[in-house]
Structure 1
Amino acid sequence: MEQILTLYHSTESRLTSSIVIDLVKRATGNRSIYGFAEFYEPLRARTGVLSQANALSEAAEAWVDVLEVFTYGTWKDYVGLGYRAPELNEAQITKLRQLTLVSLAGRSARLGFDEIVEATGVEVGQVEGLVVDAVYADLLDARVDTKEQAVVVARAVGRDANKERLAELGRVLGSWEGLAVGLIRETSQRV
């Protein structure tokens, strides 16, 4: 990511549509980058200003939308872009599907093949390969249970969180805090 950020900062004052497209393609296609918020947030702010001044092409804006999907979203979010979505290359498709798998794994320790197929758009026969690739990319620790058609997740890396996800996490932590305080009160009354 450091190389992408360096390129971005060196061109920030003269950001053009072609530079935006090139930087986003480089970031999303890079095999070692899986977190994008530190690039996406300043780029979105800068391109928002350029968009208001009509300085960015529709294609560049579409690639910034794709970067947002890679940062916070899933395969379904990309598909939801519809006709505006630029075509991804095979490395980008694989990465977005892996990130989608990580999002699923962050919500449940046991994932059915059907759930993975629906979320990632892969065929049932490709689920095991997707999981193995994600494990080798160190995105998760999991084992595939082919007999049960499930993936058992031991660990998944965290994804970047947008404002909505942060609010959701705040509610979950607030609920957990209330439960913990209640347990402490109950325990201290018994002692």
Structure 2
Amino acid sequence: MDQTHTRAMEALQPFIHLANSNSATSPKFVANLITNATSSPNTYVFAELLEIQMVQALRSTDTPAEYQGYLTLLEIFSWGTWQDYQATPNLPPLNEKQTLKLRLLSLLSLSAAIKPLTYQMLMDALSITAPSELESLVTTAIYSSLITARLSPATSPPTVNVTSVAPLRDVKPQSLTTMISILTQWETRCGDVISDIEAEIAKIRTNSAKRRAKEHAQMALFEKTLSNWGPEGSESRLAGPKNPGWHGGMRGGAGGFVGNKREFSSDDFDDGYWDNGTENAYDTLVAGSRMDIDEGAGSSRMGPAGAGARHAKRFLGKKY
């Protein structure tokens, strides 16, 4: 419980004790009790005093007219405002302490309901004519821990910036139905939000489970495929069948050899071609292909040097 509210409850206890222990039940005694309770500087809540049977007895038609207004006055101090007091006829007059107390309580209600609070609006609501008087009232409320506020007289318009209000006003019984309705609507909205959150959580969990199942199926398929690539069949699968016309150096085709000439080896030519061929086979081959192979500068096919070169080339690839 707020400390300010606790102090206000403690300040009211002597008056409650006096109302319960005193055998006098006359309307005059109850009226004096209400006047003293509302004039006390530290009393700001009065609901417990209102619930006492002796106080409620003032509502009886047998109560003298001069005391009937004290119960209404106590109700205004509990949850009403200065404007309620001004608008209600046949109420007892207020002394100076009661006037200050009711204005302070009205300031609490206005601060909780209206923002921003301008000087002019507060002066009209509290029947104050001078800005200095309003500033004195607000300062008293601040030092009494009723509100946390800052005065801004230089702004246009001048305002009172309230940041917090002490929970010192009693709840009007007629407003309980409205409060219950508001709280019920708030509870319903909270339930709808919780339901939406739970549905979203369930959706996320379902999608996550589907995703994990899909990943598991893909991993199982991958492992099954990988297991089929055993040691026995891996070479054949990777290499594949050799094509007789493959460029790796196999014999075949109309030319007698297929592949890159730079990958030749001496074994590929060990077929007696150079030994059993005609004397002019090399010349015929060269003349037919129009290629000069390994001829140095100044060499000639017809001269002795050229004949020697041809002779050397005839033994190319020959194994000894």
- Which TM-score band (shorter chain)? 0.7 to 0.9
1:23 to 16, 19, 33: 33
User: Against the structure 1 CA distance between its residues 157 and 167, is the aligned structure 2 distance closer, same or farther, given a 3 Å change threshold?
Assistant: farther
Per the alignment, residue 160 of structure 2 pairs with 151
Q: Unmatched 5+ residue regions in structure 1?
A: none
Aligned to 1:128: 135
Task: Name the counterpart of 1:47.
Answer: 58
| Percent identical | 28
1:120 and 1:21 map into 2 onto residues whose CA distance is: 25
Structure 1, residues 126-173: CA drift from partner, whole Å, max 9, x if none?
222111111122211111222232122221122100222222322332
- For residue 26 of structure 1, what is the amino acid of its counterpart? N
Q: 1:7 aligned to 2:18?
A: yes
SS in 1 for 2:41: coil
Bigger proportion of residues as helix: 1
Q: Given the alignment, which residue of 100, 109, 116 partners 1:94?
A: 100
Instruction: Answer yes or no: is the 8 Å Cα contact 2:38–2:74 preserved in 1.
Output: yes
Instruction: Judge conservation of contact 2:30–2:55 (CA < 8 Å) in 1.
Output: no
Find the partner of 2:69 among 62, 66, 70.
62
Q: Contact (CA 8 Å) 1:140, 1:156: kept in 2 or not? A: yes
* Counterpart for residue 183 of structure 1: 193
The structure with the largest alpha-carbon Rg is 2
Contact 1:109 1:154 in 2 (8 A): no
The answer to whether structure 1 residue 119 and structure 2 residue 130 are counterparts is: no
RMSD: 1.9
Instruction: Indicate if the aligned counterparts of 1:79 and 1:85 stay in contact, CA closer than 8 A.
Output: no
- Structure 1, 17-26 or 168-177: larger mean CA deviation: 168-177
Deviation at 1:62, TM superposition (A): 1.2
d(CA) in 1 for partners of 2:29, 2:78: 19
Which of 166, 169, 174 is residue 179 of structure 2 equivalent to?
169
Task: Tell me the distance in 1 between the aligned counterparts of 2:152 and 2:175.
Answer: 30
Q: State whether residues 56 and 71 of structure 2, in contact with CA within 8 Å, keep that contact through their aligned partners in structure 1.
A: no
Which amino acid in the other structure matches residue 171 of structure 1? S
Using the TM superposition, name which of 69-78 and 137-146 deviates more. Answer: 137-146
CA contact (8 A) 2:79 2:171 kept: yes
What is the alpha-carbon distance in structure 1 between the residues aligned to residue 81 and residue 179 of structure 2? 18
* TM-score, scaled to structure 2: 0.54
TM-score by structure 1 length?
0.87
Q: Measure how far apart 1:45 and its partner are.
A: 2.6
Do 2:50 and 2:75's aligned partners in 1 also have CA atoms closer than 8 Å? yes
Alpha-carbon distance in structure 1 between the residues aligned to 2:31 and 2:64: 10
- d(CA) in 1 for partners of 2:191, 2:120: 39
